[in-house]
Amino acid sequence: MSKKIVFMGTPEFAVPSLNALKNNNYNISVVYTQPPSIANRGKKLIESKIETLAKKFSLKVRNPKKLDNENEYNYFKSIEPDLVIVVAYGQIIPKRFLTVPRFGFINVHASLLPKWRGAAPIQRSIMNLDNESGISIMKIAEKLDAGPIMYQEKIKINENINSQILSKLLSQLGAKSMISAIDKIEKGEENFVEQDHSMATYAKKISKKEAQINWNESSRKVLAQINGLNPNPGAWFKINNKRYKVWKAKIVKIKGRPGEILNDKLVIGCDDFSIKIIEIQKEGKDKQSIEKFLLGNKIKKGLIIS
């Protein structure tokens, strides 16, 4: 494609899409990404995954804190982009930017729109016990994730999939779908269909309060919370004011009181059945298999935890 493309993305999720554009020899005028973030208690600035990849490809990079200023708008107009690809960029695109590119802004969104518009579609789909998720290729409109859809592809979710795994699968699927979408745009075969806005649901940002496990929920709901919040922020519980993060678990058909330690293998009761922890991390320690953890941490059967 000889048309000039601008790419906007920031995290690991966007990496396969930028790779795909480069590997298919698209003309990328500039890459927009979020500014470097401070890590290790302010000692070091860490650039985004997309900035690192763009530099590897010797692409021009811009990382403004805010797009909505005169300097950035004038620059954006000056490069005269034909198409803008947005993949988990992390900023709302200002309205006046949307009319600049000839073919508009195309977004790779990690849900089957209109379900799960917003910031955390992958986590919410798992935590909601959805049977499937997917990718939507849509045109960006003024309202959040409300633009017409060009293409969707589905993927099944099961009890073995956590947010990290699903994110990787969807990022790869999104890159493939994006290339197909650009090809259709180039041939003039694109077809955008309006969303049914009455069916919209919203994937609000995950709050810290949601990470604490509520053992009064069903075992399926607790497992979905553990999987949906893995790796970040991680579902947790407390024993003696110490926090324990659960990385991996499974449902077992053992019944007991919610929050009760039911045996010496750290099986914990829920509203219906129980959760057997497979990988755990004690506050201030490294992640461990449950077998290694129990060698140095004796937790009494019958204890009720929060």
For 71, residues 6+ apart whose C-beta sits below 8 A from its C-beta are none
Residues of the chain with pLDDT under 70: 1-2, 40-42
* pLDDT given for residue 45 in this prediction: 87
Q: Is the pTM of this model over 0.75?
A: yes
Residue 94 contacts residue 68 (beta carbons within 8 Å):
yes
Q: How many CB atoms lie within 10 A of CB 254?
A: 16
Q: How many CB atoms lie within 10 A of CB 46?
A: 12
Top CATH class of 4-199 equals: alpha beta
Q: How many residues does the chain have?
A: 306
By C-alpha distance, which of 47, 7, 1, 51 is closest to 29? 7
Specify the CATH number of the domain 208-296: 3.10.25.10
* pLDDT given for residue 35 in this prediction: 96
Domain ranges of the chain: 4-199, 208-296
* pLDDT given for residue 2 in this prediction: 66
Domain pair 4-199 / 208-296, same fold = no
3-state SS, the chain, equals CCCEEEEEECCHHHHHHHHHHHHCCCEEEEEECCCCEEECCCCEEECCHHHHHHHHCCCCEECCCCCCCHHHHHHHHHCCCCEEEEECCCCCCCHHHHCCCCCCEEEEECCCCCCCECCCHHHHHHHCCCCEEEEEEEECCCCCCCCCEEEEEEEECCCCCCHHHHHHHHHHHHHHHHHHHHHHHHHCCCCCECCCHHHCCECCCCCHHHHECCCCCCHHHHHHHHHHCCCCCCEEEEECCEEEEEEEEEEECCCCCCCEECCCCCEEECCCCEEEEEEEEECCCCEEEHHHHHHHCCCCCCCECC
Tens of pLDDT, residues 87-100? 999 999 999 999 99
* pLDDT given for residue 298 in this prediction: 86
